């Protein structure tokens, strides 16, 4: 249910979902990946007492691309 709510709007999580679909993930696998992303993000925010950082997934993707070069 949380995943569905996050995917309804125009936000960073929806953009990540669309990115996963473009990368060839099935809809089911993309939704599961989003669910795990939300869970790990919420846990990290609570554990570290920090604010949520939108588009964090994009930064990690850029780092992966730089490592390949």
pLDDT in tens, 15-29: 999 999 999 999 999
Per-domain residue ranges of the chain: 2-68
Whether residue 60 is predicted with pLDDT greater than 80 in this model: the reply is: no
What are the helix and strand counts (H, E) for the chain? 4, 0
The stretch 40-47 carries a mean pLDDT of: 94
pTM of the model: 0.78
């Amino acid at each position: 249910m949380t995943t569905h709510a996050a995917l309804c709007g125009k936000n960073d999580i929806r953009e990540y979902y669309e990115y996963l679909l473009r990368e060839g993930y099935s809809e089911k696998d993309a939704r599961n990946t989003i669910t795990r992303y939300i869970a790990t993000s919420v846990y990290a925010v609570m554990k570290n007492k920090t604010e949520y950082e939108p588009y964090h997934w994009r930064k990690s993707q850029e780092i992966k691309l730089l490592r390949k070069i």
